[in-house]
Protein backbone atom coordinates (compact mmCIF):
# COMPACT_ATOMS: atom_id res chain seq x y z
CA UNK A 1 0.00 0.00 0.00
CA UNK A 2 1.36 3.41 -0.97
CA UNK A 3 2.11 5.55 2.15
CA UNK A 4 0.07 8.71 2.67
CA UNK A 5 1.76 12.07 2.53
CA UNK A 6 0.96 14.88 4.96
CA UNK A 7 0.28 17.31 2.14
CA UNK A 8 -2.55 15.07 0.92
CA UNK A 9 -4.68 16.03 3.93
CA UNK A 10 -6.72 19.12 2.95
CA UNK A 11 -5.79 22.00 5.23
CA UNK A 12 -9.36 23.25 5.50
CA UNK A 13 -10.72 19.93 6.75
CA UNK A 14 -10.27 20.67 10.45
CA UNK A 15 -12.67 23.62 10.15
CA UNK A 16 -15.42 21.22 9.07
CA UNK A 17 -15.23 18.77 11.93
CA UNK A 18 -18.29 18.16 14.13
CA UNK A 19 -17.76 17.10 17.73
CA UNK A 20 -20.66 18.64 19.66
CA UNK A 21 -23.21 16.04 20.77
CA UNK A 22 -23.83 17.36 24.28
CA UNK A 23 -27.63 17.60 24.05
CA UNK A 24 -27.80 14.32 22.16
CA UNK A 25 -25.93 12.45 24.90
CA UNK A 26 -28.48 13.64 27.46
CA UNK A 27 -31.37 12.68 25.21
CA UNK A 28 -29.79 9.30 24.61
CA UNK A 29 -30.26 8.39 28.26
CA UNK A 30 -33.97 9.23 28.11
CA UNK A 31 -34.52 7.44 24.81
CA UNK A 32 -33.05 4.24 26.19
CA UNK A 33 -34.92 4.61 29.48
CA UNK A 34 -38.34 4.99 27.87
CA UNK A 35 -38.04 3.14 24.53
CA UNK A 36 -36.68 -0.44 24.24
CA UNK A 37 -33.56 -0.21 22.13
CA UNK A 38 -33.82 3.57 22.19
CA UNK A 39 -35.36 3.73 18.72
CA UNK A 40 -38.42 2.67 16.68
CA UNK A 41 -36.50 0.28 14.42
CA UNK A 42 -33.21 -1.51 15.04
CA UNK A 43 -31.56 0.02 11.98
CA UNK A 44 -31.72 3.42 13.70
CA UNK A 45 -30.17 2.17 16.95
CA UNK A 46 -27.23 3.56 18.91
CA UNK A 47 -25.25 0.44 18.01
CA UNK A 48 -25.43 1.36 14.31
CA UNK A 49 -23.40 4.56 14.82
CA UNK A 50 -20.16 5.57 16.55
CA UNK A 51 -20.46 5.37 20.32
CA UNK A 52 -19.93 9.04 21.10
CA UNK A 53 -21.83 10.45 18.09
CA UNK A 54 -25.58 9.83 18.64
CA UNK A 55 -27.39 12.48 16.56
CA UNK A 56 -31.09 13.01 17.20
CA UNK A 57 -32.76 14.71 14.27
CA UNK A 58 -35.06 17.71 14.70
CA UNK A 59 -35.73 18.64 11.05
CA UNK A 60 -34.84 17.95 7.45
CA UNK A 61 -35.06 19.75 4.12
CA UNK A 62 -34.19 18.20 0.80
CA UNK A 63 -31.22 15.92 1.47
CA UNK A 64 -30.03 17.83 4.55
CA UNK A 65 -30.91 17.19 8.20
CA UNK A 66 -30.19 19.03 11.45
CA UNK A 67 -29.77 17.43 14.86
CA UNK A 68 -30.65 18.60 18.36
CA UNK A 69 -27.16 20.08 18.82
CA UNK A 70 -27.46 22.18 15.66
CA UNK A 71 -25.17 19.99 13.57
CA UNK A 72 -26.01 19.92 9.87
CA UNK A 73 -25.56 16.86 7.66
CA UNK A 74 -26.05 15.77 4.09
CA UNK A 75 -28.04 12.58 4.61
CA UNK A 76 -27.81 9.37 2.62
CA UNK A 77 -30.17 6.45 3.06
CA UNK A 78 -32.91 9.04 3.60
CA UNK A 79 -35.25 7.51 6.17
CA UNK A 80 -34.09 3.94 5.60
CA UNK A 81 -34.67 4.37 1.85
CA UNK A 82 -38.22 5.65 2.28
CA UNK A 83 -37.55 9.24 1.15
CA UNK A 84 -36.69 9.37 -2.56
CA UNK A 85 -37.66 12.95 -3.39
CA UNK A 86 -36.40 14.82 -0.32
CA UNK A 87 -37.33 15.68 3.24
CA UNK A 88 -40.29 18.05 3.66
CA UNK A 89 -40.74 17.95 -0.12
CA UNK A 90 -43.31 20.70 -0.86
CA UNK A 91 -45.56 18.95 -3.44
CA UNK A 92 -45.92 15.91 -1.17
CA UNK A 93 -46.25 17.79 2.12
CA UNK A 94 -48.80 20.19 0.66
CA UNK A 95 -50.92 17.36 -0.73
CA UNK A 96 -50.88 15.56 2.62
CA UNK A 97 -51.71 18.79 4.47
CA UNK A 98 -54.68 19.62 2.24
CA UNK A 99 -56.06 16.11 2.64
CA UNK A 100 -55.47 16.12 6.39
CA UNK A 101 -57.63 19.21 6.72
CA UNK A 102 -60.53 17.10 5.39
CA UNK A 103 -60.00 14.33 7.92
CA UNK A 104 -57.51 11.50 8.28
CA UNK A 105 -59.66 8.45 9.02
CA UNK A 106 -63.32 7.48 8.80
CA UNK A 107 -65.70 4.58 9.56
CA UNK A 108 -66.04 3.84 5.85
CA UNK A 109 -63.55 3.89 2.96
CA UNK A 110 -62.58 7.31 1.62
CA UNK A 111 -62.82 7.92 -2.12
CA UNK A 112 -59.11 8.79 -2.31
CA UNK A 113 -58.30 5.13 -1.66
CA UNK A 114 -60.04 4.07 -4.88
CA UNK A 115 -58.46 6.97 -6.80
CA UNK A 116 -54.97 5.94 -5.79
CA UNK A 117 -55.68 2.23 -6.24
CA UNK A 118 -56.56 2.87 -9.89
CA UNK A 119 -53.41 4.94 -10.47
CA UNK A 120 -51.23 2.43 -8.64
CA UNK A 121 -52.52 -0.64 -10.52
CA UNK A 122 -51.94 1.08 -13.87
CA UNK A 123 -48.20 0.77 -13.16
CA UNK A 124 -48.07 -3.01 -13.05
CA UNK A 125 -48.87 -5.58 -15.70
CA UNK A 126 -50.76 -8.52 -14.22
CA UNK A 127 -51.71 -6.75 -11.00
CA UNK A 128 -55.52 -6.78 -10.68
CA UNK A 129 -56.12 -5.76 -7.07
CA UNK A 130 -54.30 -3.88 -4.33
CA UNK A 131 -54.66 -3.48 -0.59
CA UNK A 132 -52.81 -0.80 1.35
CA UNK A 133 -50.92 -1.13 4.60
CA UNK A 134 -48.57 1.01 6.67
CA UNK A 135 -45.19 -0.75 6.32
CA UNK A 136 -43.39 -3.43 4.39
CA UNK A 137 -43.95 -6.12 6.99
CA UNK A 138 -47.72 -5.72 6.56
CA UNK A 139 -47.52 -6.31 2.84
CA UNK A 140 -45.03 -9.18 2.86
CA UNK A 141 -46.83 -11.00 5.67
CA UNK A 142 -50.12 -10.50 3.83
CA UNK A 143 -48.56 -12.13 0.77
CA UNK A 144 -47.37 -15.09 2.84
CA UNK A 145 -50.81 -15.57 4.40
CA UNK A 146 -52.51 -15.43 0.99
CA UNK A 147 -50.02 -17.90 -0.47
CA UNK A 148 -50.63 -20.36 2.35
CA UNK A 149 -54.39 -20.04 2.01
CA UNK A 150 -54.35 -20.29 -1.78
CA UNK A 151 -52.07 -23.34 -1.94
CA UNK A 152 -53.12 -25.07 1.28
CA UNK A 153 -49.42 -25.38 2.21
CA UNK A 154 -47.48 -24.13 5.20
CA UNK A 155 -43.84 -23.72 4.21
CA UNK A 156 -42.21 -20.55 2.88
CA UNK A 157 -38.95 -20.29 0.92
CA UNK A 158 -37.02 -17.04 1.38
CA UNK A 159 -33.86 -15.73 -0.25
CA UNK A 160 -30.95 -16.11 2.19
CA UNK A 161 -29.03 -13.29 0.48
CA UNK A 162 -31.65 -10.65 1.24
CA UNK A 163 -31.50 -9.25 4.76
CA UNK A 164 -35.07 -8.47 5.79
CA UNK A 165 -38.64 -9.34 4.86
CA UNK A 166 -40.89 -8.83 7.86
CA UNK A 167 -41.13 -8.32 11.63
CA UNK A 168 -43.46 -11.30 11.82
CA UNK A 169 -42.60 -14.77 13.09
CA UNK A 170 -42.33 -16.50 9.70
CA UNK A 171 -39.23 -14.41 8.94
CA UNK A 172 -37.79 -13.32 12.30
CA UNK A 173 -37.72 -16.98 13.30
CA UNK A 174 -34.94 -17.45 10.72
CA UNK A 175 -32.74 -14.71 12.20
CA UNK A 176 -30.41 -14.48 15.18
CA UNK A 177 -33.15 -12.63 17.12
CA UNK A 178 -35.61 -15.51 17.20
CA UNK A 179 -36.34 -15.45 20.94
CA UNK A 180 -40.07 -15.79 21.65
CA UNK A 181 -40.84 -17.63 18.41
CA UNK A 182 -41.94 -21.28 18.64
CA UNK A 183 -39.64 -23.86 17.07
CA UNK A 184 -42.54 -25.19 15.02
CA UNK A 185 -42.86 -21.79 13.32
CA UNK A 186 -39.11 -21.55 12.68
CA UNK A 187 -39.12 -24.87 10.86
CA UNK A 188 -41.71 -23.70 8.33
CA UNK A 189 -39.34 -21.25 6.61
CA UNK A 190 -36.43 -22.48 4.48
CA UNK A 191 -33.78 -20.62 2.49
CA UNK A 192 -32.31 -20.52 -1.00
CA UNK A 193 -29.64 -18.42 -2.70
CA UNK A 194 -30.10 -15.63 -5.24
CA UNK A 195 -29.22 -16.41 -8.88
CA UNK A 196 -28.94 -20.09 -7.89
CA UNK A 197 -31.91 -21.86 -9.44
CA UNK A 198 -30.56 -25.23 -8.30
CA UNK A 199 -30.89 -24.18 -4.65
CA UNK A 200 -34.61 -23.61 -5.22
CA UNK A 201 -34.99 -26.88 -7.10
CA UNK A 202 -33.41 -28.71 -4.16
CA UNK A 203 -35.95 -27.19 -1.76
CA UNK A 204 -38.89 -28.30 -3.87
CA UNK A 205 -37.32 -31.78 -4.07
CA UNK A 206 -36.72 -31.94 -0.31
CA UNK A 207 -40.18 -30.60 0.61
CA UNK A 208 -42.53 -31.85 -2.14
CA UNK A 209 -45.99 -30.23 -2.14
CA UNK A 210 -45.18 -28.34 1.06
CA UNK A 211 -43.88 -24.94 -0.10
CA UNK A 212 -46.58 -22.30 -0.52
CA UNK A 213 -44.43 -19.57 -2.03
CA UNK A 214 -40.96 -18.35 -2.87
CA UNK A 215 -40.26 -14.77 -1.78
CA UNK A 216 -37.28 -12.58 -2.69
CA UNK A 217 -36.22 -9.13 -3.76
CA UNK A 218 -36.07 -9.25 -7.57
CA UNK A 219 -32.85 -7.24 -7.52
CA UNK A 220 -30.50 -6.40 -4.66
CA UNK A 221 -26.72 -6.07 -4.79
CA UNK A 222 -26.48 -8.04 -8.03
CA UNK A 223 -28.73 -8.28 -11.06
CA UNK A 224 -30.59 -11.45 -12.11
CA UNK A 225 -28.44 -13.60 -14.38
CA UNK A 226 -29.38 -16.03 -17.17
CA UNK A 227 -33.11 -15.27 -16.99
CA UNK A 228 -33.09 -16.20 -13.33
CA UNK A 229 -36.41 -14.54 -12.46
CA UNK A 230 -38.17 -16.09 -15.45
CA UNK A 231 -36.82 -19.51 -14.55
CA UNK A 232 -37.82 -19.01 -10.93
CA UNK A 233 -41.40 -18.22 -11.88
CA UNK A 234 -41.57 -21.28 -14.14
CA UNK A 235 -40.15 -23.48 -11.38
CA UNK A 236 -42.65 -22.17 -8.83
CA UNK A 237 -45.60 -22.83 -11.09
CA UNK A 238 -44.33 -26.29 -12.00
CA UNK A 239 -44.49 -27.03 -8.29
CA UNK A 240 -47.85 -25.29 -7.75
CA UNK A 241 -46.25 -22.60 -5.58
CA UNK A 242 -46.58 -18.83 -5.84
CA UNK A 243 -43.82 -16.35 -6.71
CA UNK A 244 -43.74 -13.26 -4.48
CA UNK A 245 -41.60 -10.20 -5.16
CA UNK A 246 -40.57 -7.99 -2.26
CA UNK A 247 -40.28 -4.63 -4.06
CA UNK A 248 -39.84 -2.46 -0.97
CA UNK A 249 -36.56 -1.12 -2.33
CA UNK A 250 -36.80 -1.73 -6.07
CA UNK A 251 -40.29 -0.24 -6.22
CA UNK A 252 -40.19 3.40 -7.31
CA UNK A 253 -36.41 3.14 -7.73
CA UNK A 254 -35.48 0.45 -10.27
CA UNK A 255 -38.41 1.37 -12.52
CA UNK A 256 -41.71 3.17 -12.02
CA UNK A 257 -43.31 -0.23 -12.48
CA UNK A 258 -40.82 -1.93 -10.18
CA UNK A 259 -38.16 -4.49 -11.01
CA UNK A 260 -40.92 -6.76 -12.32
CA UNK A 261 -41.42 -4.32 -15.16
CA UNK A 262 -37.69 -3.73 -15.63
CA UNK A 263 -37.11 -7.46 -16.07
CA UNK A 264 -40.51 -8.30 -17.60
CA UNK A 265 -41.53 -10.88 -15.01
CA UNK A 266 -45.03 -10.82 -13.55
CA UNK A 267 -45.08 -12.35 -10.04
CA UNK A 268 -48.21 -13.79 -8.49
CA UNK A 269 -48.02 -11.30 -5.63
CA UNK A 270 -45.79 -8.33 -4.93
CA UNK A 271 -45.26 -5.97 -2.01
CA UNK A 272 -44.33 -2.29 -2.11
CA UNK A 273 -43.60 0.39 0.47
CA UNK A 274 -40.78 2.75 1.47
CA UNK A 275 -40.55 5.18 -1.47
CA UNK A 276 -44.29 5.03 -2.22
CA UNK A 277 -45.13 8.04 -0.05
CA UNK A 278 -41.77 9.82 0.19
CA UNK A 279 -41.50 9.05 3.88
CA UNK A 280 -45.20 8.87 4.74
CA UNK A 281 -46.29 5.53 6.12
CA UNK A 282 -47.87 3.51 3.33
CA UNK A 283 -47.33 0.12 1.73
CA UNK A 284 -49.17 -2.04 -0.77
CA UNK A 285 -49.84 -5.68 -1.52
CA UNK A 286 -50.86 -6.33 -5.09
CA UNK A 287 -51.38 -9.29 -7.36
CA UNK A 288 -53.76 -11.42 -9.35
CA UNK A 289 -57.41 -11.18 -8.39
CA UNK A 290 -57.83 -14.97 -8.10
CA UNK A 291 -55.42 -14.82 -5.14
CA UNK A 292 -56.09 -11.34 -3.75
CA UNK A 293 -59.86 -11.80 -3.60
CA UNK A 294 -59.41 -14.44 -0.88
CA UNK A 295 -59.04 -11.46 1.43
CA UNK A 296 -62.45 -10.19 0.32
CA UNK A 297 -66.01 -11.47 0.34
CA UNK A 298 -66.92 -12.34 -3.24
CA UNK A 299 -65.88 -16.01 -3.27
CA UNK A 300 -66.93 -19.32 -1.78
CA UNK A 301 -63.59 -20.30 -0.24
CA UNK A 302 -62.54 -19.83 3.36
CA UNK A 303 -61.81 -16.14 3.89
CA UNK A 304 -58.34 -14.77 4.61
CA UNK A 305 -57.85 -12.08 7.27
CA UNK A 306 -55.89 -9.75 5.02
CA UNK A 307 -54.44 -6.40 6.12
CA UNK A 308 -57.32 -5.32 8.30
CA UNK A 309 -55.65 -2.19 9.69
CA UNK A 310 -57.28 0.76 11.44
CA UNK A 311 -54.76 3.10 9.83
CA UNK A 312 -54.26 1.12 6.63
CA UNK A 313 -55.75 3.81 4.42
CA UNK A 314 -55.10 7.08 6.23
CA UNK A 315 -56.13 9.73 3.75
CA UNK A 316 -53.08 11.98 4.13
CA UNK A 317 -50.71 9.06 3.46
CA UNK A 318 -52.68 8.21 0.31
CA UNK A 319 -52.56 11.86 -0.76
CA UNK A 320 -48.79 11.85 -0.21
CA UNK A 321 -48.49 8.69 -2.31
CA UNK A 322 -50.60 10.21 -5.10
CA UNK A 323 -48.47 13.37 -5.11
CA UNK A 324 -45.27 11.32 -5.10
CA UNK A 325 -46.43 9.29 -8.09
CA UNK A 326 -47.50 12.42 -9.95
CA UNK A 327 -44.10 14.05 -9.37
CA UNK A 328 -42.34 10.88 -10.55
CA UNK A 329 -44.27 10.93 -13.81
CA UNK A 330 -43.71 14.63 -14.48
CA UNK A 331 -40.00 14.83 -13.58
CA UNK A 332 -38.49 11.53 -14.71
CA UNK A 333 -37.37 10.74 -11.17
CA UNK A 334 -36.33 7.14 -11.91
CA UNK A 335 -33.72 8.21 -14.47
CA UNK A 336 -32.44 10.98 -12.22
CA UNK A 337 -32.01 8.60 -9.28
CA UNK A 338 -29.90 6.28 -11.42
CA UNK A 339 -27.89 9.10 -12.97
CA UNK A 340 -27.10 10.80 -9.67
CA UNK A 341 -26.34 7.50 -8.00
CA UNK A 342 -23.92 6.65 -10.81
CA UNK A 343 -22.17 10.00 -10.44
CA UNK A 344 -21.74 9.45 -6.72
CA UNK A 345 -20.50 5.87 -7.15
CA UNK A 346 -18.00 6.93 -9.78
CA UNK A 347 -16.63 9.78 -7.67
CA UNK A 348 -16.29 7.68 -4.53
CA UNK A 349 -14.69 4.83 -6.47
CA UNK A 350 -12.24 7.30 -7.98
CA UNK A 351 -11.40 8.69 -4.53
CA UNK A 352 -10.67 5.19 -3.27
CA UNK A 353 -8.52 4.45 -6.31
CA UNK A 354 -6.51 7.66 -5.91
CA UNK A 355 -5.71 6.68 -2.33
CA UNK A 356 -4.96 3.08 -3.36
CA UNK A 357 -7.93 1.86 -1.33
CA UNK A 358 -9.90 0.17 -4.09
CA UNK A 359 -9.50 -3.21 -2.40
CA UNK A 360 -10.65 -1.84 0.97
CA UNK A 361 -13.53 0.54 0.23
CA UNK A 362 -16.02 -0.39 -2.49
CA UNK A 363 -19.42 0.64 -3.79
CA UNK A 364 -21.85 -2.22 -4.40
CA UNK A 365 -25.32 -2.59 -5.84
CA UNK A 366 -27.35 -0.74 -8.48
CA UNK A 367 -26.80 2.98 -9.01
CA UNK A 368 -30.28 3.88 -7.78
CA UNK A 369 -29.70 2.23 -4.39
CA UNK A 370 -26.04 1.47 -3.69
CA UNK A 371 -24.16 0.69 -0.49
CA UNK A 372 -20.49 0.77 0.48
CA UNK A 373 -18.43 -1.99 2.02
CA UNK A 374 -15.50 -1.51 4.38
CA UNK A 375 -12.66 -4.05 4.34
CA UNK A 376 -9.71 -4.41 6.70
CA UNK A 377 -6.01 -5.14 6.07
CA UNK A 378 -6.94 -8.72 5.15
CA UNK A 379 -9.68 -7.54 2.79
CA UNK A 380 -12.34 -8.93 5.11
CA UNK A 381 -15.55 -7.11 5.98
CA UNK A 382 -14.88 -5.02 9.08
CA UNK A 383 -17.31 -3.40 11.50
CA UNK A 384 -14.32 -1.53 12.98
CA UNK A 385 -13.55 0.16 9.69
CA UNK A 386 -17.22 0.79 9.01
CA UNK A 387 -17.42 2.60 12.34
CA UNK A 388 -14.30 4.59 11.54
CA UNK A 389 -15.75 5.62 8.19
CA UNK A 390 -19.01 6.66 9.83
CA UNK A 391 -17.09 8.59 12.48
CA UNK A 392 -14.98 10.50 9.96
CA UNK A 393 -17.84 11.24 7.56
CA UNK A 394 -20.09 12.42 10.40
CA UNK A 395 -17.34 14.76 11.57
CA UNK A 396 -17.45 16.28 8.11
CA UNK A 397 -21.20 16.67 7.96
CA UNK A 398 -22.28 13.47 6.23
CA UNK A 399 -24.86 11.12 7.75
CA UNK A 400 -23.96 8.21 5.54
CA UNK A 401 -24.91 4.68 6.62
CA UNK A 402 -25.21 3.92 2.90
CA UNK A 403 -24.75 5.68 -0.43
CA UNK A 404 -28.46 5.62 -1.30
CA UNK A 405 -29.34 8.94 -2.98
CA UNK A 406 -32.53 10.89 -3.55
CA UNK A 407 -33.87 13.31 -6.14
CA UNK A 408 -32.57 16.14 -3.93
CA UNK A 409 -28.93 15.04 -4.21
CA UNK A 410 -27.90 17.41 -7.00
CA UNK A 411 -24.49 17.71 -8.64
CA UNK A 412 -23.22 20.24 -6.11
CA UNK A 413 -24.21 17.98 -3.21
CA UNK A 414 -22.51 15.00 -4.81
CA UNK A 415 -19.32 16.99 -5.42
CA UNK A 416 -19.30 18.19 -1.81
CA UNK A 417 -19.89 14.63 -0.63
CA UNK A 418 -17.01 13.27 -2.70
CA UNK A 419 -14.61 15.84 -1.25
CA UNK A 420 -15.60 14.96 2.31
CA UNK A 421 -15.41 11.23 1.68
CA UNK A 422 -11.92 11.71 0.24
CA UNK A 423 -10.86 13.33 3.52
CA UNK A 424 -12.45 10.51 5.52
CA UNK A 425 -10.68 7.90 3.38
CA UNK A 426 -7.34 9.50 4.16
CA UNK A 427 -7.96 8.67 7.82
CA UNK A 428 -9.15 5.23 6.74
CA UNK A 429 -5.85 4.66 4.95
CA UNK A 430 -3.85 5.79 7.96
CA UNK A 431 -5.81 3.32 10.08
CA UNK A 432 -4.93 0.51 7.69
CA UNK A 433 -1.27 1.44 7.97
CA UNK A 434 -1.05 2.23 11.69
CA UNK A 435 -3.95 0.34 13.27
CA UNK A 436 -7.59 1.36 13.52
CA UNK A 437 -7.45 1.64 17.31
CA UNK A 438 -5.33 4.80 16.97
CA UNK A 439 -8.16 6.63 15.16
CA UNK A 440 -11.46 5.10 16.26
CA UNK A 441 -13.11 6.41 19.41
CA UNK A 442 -15.37 3.96 21.22
CA UNK A 443 -16.74 0.54 20.34
CA UNK A 444 -17.48 -0.65 16.82
CA UNK A 445 -20.98 -0.81 15.37
CA UNK A 446 -22.75 -4.16 15.50
CA UNK A 447 -25.17 -6.07 13.26
CA UNK A 448 -28.68 -4.72 13.86
CA UNK A 449 -30.06 -8.25 14.22
CA UNK A 450 -28.01 -10.37 16.61
CA UNK A 451 -28.67 -12.91 19.37
CA UNK A 452 -27.11 -11.19 22.37
CA UNK A 453 -26.06 -7.72 23.52
Q: Measured between alpha carbons, how far is residue 341 from residues 251, 345, 366 in Å?
A: 16, 6, 8
**CB-based burial label for 333 (10 Å; 0-12, 13-18, 19+):** buried
Gap between the Cα atoms of 362 and 382, Å rounded: 13
Sign of the CA dihedral running 259, 341, 447, 278: negative
Residue 13: what pLDDT? 53
- The residue extents of the domains of the chain are 6-87+334-438, 105-313
Percentage of the chain with pLDDT > 90?
93
**Whole-angstrom distance, CA of residue 298 vs CA of residue 31:** 47
By CB atoms closer than 10 A (0-12, 13-18, 19+), residue 221 is middle
- The CATH number of 105-313, from 3.40.640.10, 3.20.20.20, 3.40.630.30, 1.10.274.10, is 3.40.640.10
Q: What number of other Cβ atoms are within 10 A of residue 37's Cβ?
A: 14
pLDDT in tens, 304-363: 999 999 999 899 999 999 999 999 999 999 999 999 999 999 999 999 999 999 999 999
For 6-87+334-438, CATH gives: 3.90.1150.10
Cα–Cα distance between 159 and 143 in angstroms, integer? 15
Confidence of residue 6 (pLDDT cuts 50, 70, 90): low
What are the pLDDT digits (tens) for 281-316?
Answer: 999 999 999 999 999 998 989 999 999 999 998 999
Indicate if the pLDDT at residue 12 is higher than 50: no
Amino acid sequence: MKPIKKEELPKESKKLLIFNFNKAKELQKQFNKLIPGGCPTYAKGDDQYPEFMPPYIVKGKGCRVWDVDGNEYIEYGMGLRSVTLGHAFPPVVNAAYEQMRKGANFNRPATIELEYAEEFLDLFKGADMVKFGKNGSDANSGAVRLARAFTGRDMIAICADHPFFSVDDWFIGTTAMSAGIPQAIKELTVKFNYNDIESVESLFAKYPEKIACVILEPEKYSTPQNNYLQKLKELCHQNDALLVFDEMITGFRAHLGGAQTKYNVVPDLSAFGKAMGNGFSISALTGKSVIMELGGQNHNRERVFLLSLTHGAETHALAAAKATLEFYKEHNVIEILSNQGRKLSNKLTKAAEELHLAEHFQILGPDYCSIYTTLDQNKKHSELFRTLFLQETMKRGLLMPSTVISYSHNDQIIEETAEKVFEALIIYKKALENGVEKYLKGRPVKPAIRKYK
